[in-house]
Amino acid sequence: MKIVSGVSFICALALTAFAPSYAEESKKLNSNEVIQEYGKIATGIALEERCLLLSPLATREYYWQQYMLDAALNKVFSGAPVLNMVRGSALQTSRDERFKCDAESQEFIERSLQRARDLNQKLTGQVFEPNVSDQVFDQERLIIVASAAGINAVCKHLLPEYDEQLNVGLEALTKSFEEIYTDKVGTDAISKAYQETSNEPNTSCGDGTRQQALQGWQLTRLLMKQYRLAFAGE
């Protein structure tokens, strides 16, 4: 596997994840209304990250829905950091003291998830299929983590404690992936990603591999939370 920049790799996933039909549909949608809906969706997922009120399957669906929306809306709002600004505002809103991680918060999160389903359907035509859509999504993200671990084994970009989290997280997440989906083929692809990047010569190391290693570590921490796992001492 040729080592490429983390940004390019993630963008490639976005392009292969679906065949967007939003180009025509987006013309029918009011941009302000879309952003308002996206803001509520982003607030809901930020609140879910804090409260963990949904079932594990519903949580996995929510992240899939947001990923699909991000891929579509980044095309619509290309050239402006609109989504980043909305997500930042949503994160602050989710921390408001009026959200108590109670039944009212759960209702808000569930409504926001339904908004994500509806908007994703309008923009991409994609519908979440339990234990299929999320399996592909999780596998792709774990391949990114495994590739980053392999890269860092060669290039030693990360601090030792970050490298340990990356490797411990990869092992724990791969085990959980297999327990959830009972699909050996999926974990084979993850192992292959690690083997291919760990066999690259150290002459391949540079700014691109440094970015990939850091992104892999960041994604590991995010996935550990999403999988309801924790590092020792946290």
Please write the tens of the pLDDT for every residue from 98-145: 889 999 999 999 999 999 999 999 999 999 999 999 999 999 999 999
Whether residue 232 lies inside any domain: the answer is: no
Question: Looking at residue 90, what is its pLDDT?
Answer: 92
Backbone angles phi, psi at 137, to 5 degrees: -65, -50
Question: Looking at residue 31, what is its pLDDT?
Answer: 80
Read off the pLDDT band of 16 (50, 70, 90). Answer: very low
Read off the pLDDT band of 232 (50, 70, 90). Answer: confident
Question: Looking at residue 28, what is its pLDDT?
Answer: 57
Tell me the pLDDT tens digit for each residue of 31-53: 888 999 999 999 999 999 999 99
Are 85 and 150 members of one domain? no
Whether residue 3 lies inside any domain: the answer is: no
Are 37 and 117 members of one domain? yes
Are 97 and 74 members of one domain? yes
Are 113 and 210 members of one domain? no
Provide the domain limits for residue 64: 19-124
pLDDT greater than 90 at residue 9: no
Are 120 and 141 members of one domain? no
pLDDT greater than 70 at residue 15: no
Number of domains the chain is built from: 2
pLDDT greater than 50 at residue 6: no
- Number of residues that this document lists for the chain: 234
- Over residues 64-87, the mean pLDDT reads 87
Question: Looking at residue 29, what is its pLDDT?
Answer: 64
Question: Looking at residue 224, what is its pLDDT?
Answer: 93
Distances in Å between the Cα of 118 and the Cα atoms of 53, 66, 136, 217 are 21, 12, 21, 32
Copy the structure tokens of residue 122: 């309008």
Are 25 and 102 members of one domain? yes
Tell me the pLDDT tens digit for each residue of 218-228: 999 999 988 98
DSSP-derived letter for residue 97 is T
Question: Looking at residue 97, what is its pLDDT?
Answer: 85
Residue of 100, 174, 186 lying closest to 135 (CA atoms): 186
Distances in Å between the Cα of 224 and the Cα atoms of 16, 121, 166, 196, 200 are 25, 28, 10, 24, 27
Note the pTM of the prediction, 2 decimals: 0.79
Are 86 and 136 members of one domain? no
pLDDT greater than 70 at residue 26: no
Tell me the pLDDT tens digit for each residue of 162-205: 999 999 999 999 999 999 998 777 899 999 999 999 999 999 99
Average pLDDT value for the chain = 86
Residue of 16, 141, 145, 129 lying closest to 65 (CA atoms): 129
